[in-house]
Amino acid sequence: MEEEVRTKTAERSASTAPHFLRSSHHDLRPVDLWRTRHILRHVIKTFSKLVELLPATEQSKPQIVLLAGEVTPFRNDTDREMPFRQESNFFYLSGCRIPGSYLLLAFQNGTSMENNPSSHLFIPKAELADIMWSVPPPSLEEAAATHDATRVDYPAALPDAIQELVKAFPGALVHTLPTSNLFPTIPSQYTAPFLAGNVHVTEDYLLTALHRARLIKDANEIELIRRANQISSRAHEVVMRVLGQGVRGTIKPGKGAGTERPLLPSEWLIQKEAEAEALFVASCRREGAEHQAYLPIVAASTRASTLHYCCNDREFSWGPVGPNDHKNCNDLAHNHERVLDPQVLLIDAGCEWKCYAADITRTMPVGNGGKFTAEAREIYELVLEMQRLSFEALKPGLHWDAIQFICHRTLVRGFQRLGIFKTPNSPNSGSWNSEESILASGISSAFFPHGVGHSLGMDVHDVPSASKPEKNETIKRIELGHESFYTYLRLRLPLEEGMVVTVEPGIYFSSHLLAPVRDSKHIDQEVLKRYESVGGVRIEDVVLITKDGFENLTTVRSDTEWVEKVCSGEI
């Protein structure tokens, strides 16, 4: 037996099969909804956007698309696959999550192909090594039964299929995705027949067409995003509830836990960012989500002011948290008296479901018996207000810039209420401290530096080229405040029914961002000091723009009363 295993290992190492033919195919279950021709509708929609982009003289020509799917990545010297995730555009047009696949599409405006484009899918053939080491790809018959393709073959048939198309459609334009490390490369053996046939191959239009098509989601896509949001919402609630149980003291290690035996999940306390992250991911994974849509951001204490904090490795703070503890280290956790400081825990995390994303942020109280401090609650409620007023405005036709402005205006009003920004009635102030003057100064960008949201779909920051026109006139309109409000805004369009966007206002007290405004005449520095230890608060939900307004696809609650009750273990 040992001998046999050794022999097979040697065979595998010596295999000349390229990696993509030896890739793993762990989840080949079809996405049930894909069987309703809606992938074909994605294809038709993409071609129609593509034709709109072409010069008039090219529009009636046959259009061909050649795409490579993602291959399974391998980690060096482990002979073990890393997680496979299909390239989003490939998945959109094929519904295929089989590594190492190709797709060949053909379409012609004004012909019967306008509603019936051809879709030829190429999936790798199962190799002995696949079967022995991993899960093999499906057979051609299985793949044909579970995909919306006109035909399914092995990649070896791709050069001939291309030749046939070139012959059948003289003068066709061939479209590929841009050559870049963002997209899988099409081996030259597959593009050679086009070049040999003097066929015009272009990468100028396809990505733009795909992004435009993907901007508006169909019912099937919305269901997948809804599912990703439900799973992720439960995962956020799991973390909050375990924090609450910790406060109540109901998580008790059983006999021998941590000494004679490891702790079981029911005995885990959350006392570090890493523990919160592990629970979040475990909750998504046990519900079947394969991937996180992005690496979770799990930041406690003043680290919450780092927008895309990426360490997730610090203990909660034990001991006074000052504004300069941004980079506090684990030493803080080892005071003799282990009393948890009042602090926030910001978790920005969402899983994906069948390649569709969630993107949710919750900020929760830690220490202080699971309640926010007075200052943290004031900031939390102000961020909630920014989000609530944004929600009230959402509807098709409203320009997204207006939502960004609503958030800044709400922040300025809130800071004036709290005394962080001076008001015309404060001592030593005047009309230069009016709401309008403060907005015009751009100072609120030091506290809310990012965009209020972005399009979300298969990718978290979805369809960037369709989200942000190169020229945007809106910011020139004085009533929309200061140019800095829009620097990092990823969506610069009027809303449309069927868009899915995040609404994620935040307020941060970052020493880096505050440095340039330390001497600002608008800020009462004494009052600001009281708030700096809050670090940061962000609240992020995913919403669908509907005919009359919006639907919130994120189900975990964020109202202060519920969050505090859960995090303190009262409910």
**Do the strands 173-175 and 62-68 form a parallel or antiparallel pair, or are they unpaired?**
parallel
Task: Annotate each residue in 454-493 with x if it binds ligand GLY (CB under 6 A) or - if it does not, as one string.
Answer: ------x---------------------------------
Name the β-bridge partners of 102.
Answer: 68, 122
Selection from Mn ion, ligand GLY, none that 294 binds (CB < 5 to 8 A by kind) is ligand GLY
Write down the least CB distance from residue 549 to Mn ion, Å.
Answer: 20
State the minimum distance, in angstroms, from the CB of residue 353 to ligand GLY.
16
Number of residues engaging ligand GLY in binding (CB under 6 A): 6
- Smallest gap from Cβ 349 to Mn ion, in A, equals 8
- As a whole number of angstroms, the distance between CA 291 and CA 269 comes to 24
Say which entry of Mn ion, ligand GLY, none residue 229 contacts (CB below 5 to 8 A, set by partner kind).
none
Query: Which does residue 372 bind out of Mn ion, ligand GLY, none, counting CB within 5 to 8 angstroms by kind?
Result: none
Shortest CB 264 distance to Mn ion, Å: 31
Q: C-alpha 249: how far from its chain's center?
A: 35
Query: Smaller CB distance to ligand GLY: residue 321 or 360?
Result: 360
Count CB-CB contacts under 10 A for residue 111: 11
Q: Token digits for 241? A: 């509830």
Q: Which of 70, 348, 459, 462 binds ligand GLY (CB under 6 A)?
A: 348
Q: Which residues contact 321 (CB under 8 A, 6 or more apart)?
A: 301, 302, 328, 341, 343, 533, 535
The option from ligand GLY, Mn ion, none interacting with 91 (CB < 5 to 8 A, set by class) reads none
Complex with Mn ion: residue 277 or 359, whichever CB lies closer: 359
Q: What are phi and psi of 245, to 5 degrees?
A: -65, -35
Comparing CB distances to Mn ion, the nearer of 199 and 299 is: 299
**Smallest separation, CB 350 to ligand GLY (Å):** 7
Phi, psi for 291 (deg, rounded to 5): -130, 155
With CB under 6 A as the contact rule, the residue among 81, 462, 540, 564 that binds ligand GLY is 540
Can you tell me the distance from the alpha carbon of 42 to that of 215, in angstroms, rounded to the nearest whole number? 11
- Taking the least distance from each CB to Mn ion, the nearer of 358 and 420 is 358
Shortest Å distance, C-beta 460 to ligand GLY: 6
Helices 400-418 and 374-393, interaxial angle, to 10°?
150
Phi and psi torsions of 201, nearest 5°: -105, 130
DSSP 242: H
Compute the least distance from the CB of residue 184 to ligand GLY, in Å: 24
Q: Among Mn ion, ligand GLY, none, what does residue 509 contact (CB within 5–8 Å per kind)?
A: none
102 binds, among Mn ion, ligand GLY, none (CB under 5 to 8 A by kind): none
By the criterion CB under 5 A, which residues form the site for Mn ion? 348, 359, 502, 504, 540
Minimum CB distance to ligand GLY smaller for 378 or for 541: 541
98 burial type by CB count under 10 A (0-12 exposed, 13-18 middle, 19+ buried): buried
Give the length of the chain: 571
- 211 by Cβ neighbours in 10 Å (0-12 / 13-18 / 19+) ranks as buried
Distance between CA 357 and CA 461 in Å, rounded?
Answer: 10
Q: Which is nearer to ligand GLY, 540 or 564 (CB)?
A: 540
Distance between CA atoms of 511 and 535, rounded to whole angstroms? 9
For the record, the structure tokens of 503 come out as: 């609404």
Nearer to ligand GLY, 251 or 460 (CB): 460
* SS3 label, residue 138: coil
Judged by beta carbon, residue 277 or residue 348, the one nearer ligand GLY is 348
Provide the minimum distance between the beta carbon of 115 and Mn ion in the complex, in angstroms, as a whole number: 36
Q: How far is the CB of 308 from Mn ion (least distance, A)?
A: 9
Give whole-number Cα distances, 14 to 17, 82, 99, 131, 132, in Å.
Answer: 9, 21, 21, 16, 15
Q: Does 504 bind ligand GLY (CB under 6 A)?
A: yes
List residues bridging with 455 in a β-sheet: 501
For ligand GLY, the closer CB: 130 or 277? 277
CB nearer to Mn ion: give 504 or 532.
504
How near is the Cβ of 540 to ligand GLY at its closest, in Å? 6
Give the three-state DSSP class for 240.
Answer: helix
The interface with ligand GLY within residues 517-536 (CB under 6 A) comprises none
Residue with Cβ nearer ligand GLY (91 or 294): 294
Transcribe 48-106 into DSSP letters: HHHHHHS-GGGTTSEEEEEEEPP---EETTTTEEPPP---HHHHHHH----TT-EEEEE
341 Cα distance to chain centroid? 31
Query: Of Mn ion, ligand GLY, none, which one does residue 194 interact with (CB within 5 to 8 Å by kind)?
Result: none
CB of 454 to Mn ion, least distance (A): 6
Q: Which of 87, 275, 325, 359 binds ligand GLY (CB under 6 A)?
A: 359
- Residue 382 near residue 390, CB atoms below 8 Å: no
Question: Measured from the CB atom, is 34 or 400 closer to ligand GLY?
Answer: 400
| Distance in angstroms (rounded) separating the CA atoms of residues 131 and 474 | 57
Dig out the tokens for 262 from the structure. Answer: 């490891």
| Of residues 257-316, those binding ligand GLY (CB under 6 A) | 294
Listed residue (65, 156, 55) closest to 108, CA to CA: 65
For the bound state, the minimum distance from the C-beta of residue 216 to Mn ion, rounded and expressed in Å, comes to 19
Residues found near ligand GLY in the complex (CB under 6 A): 294, 348, 359, 460, 504, 540
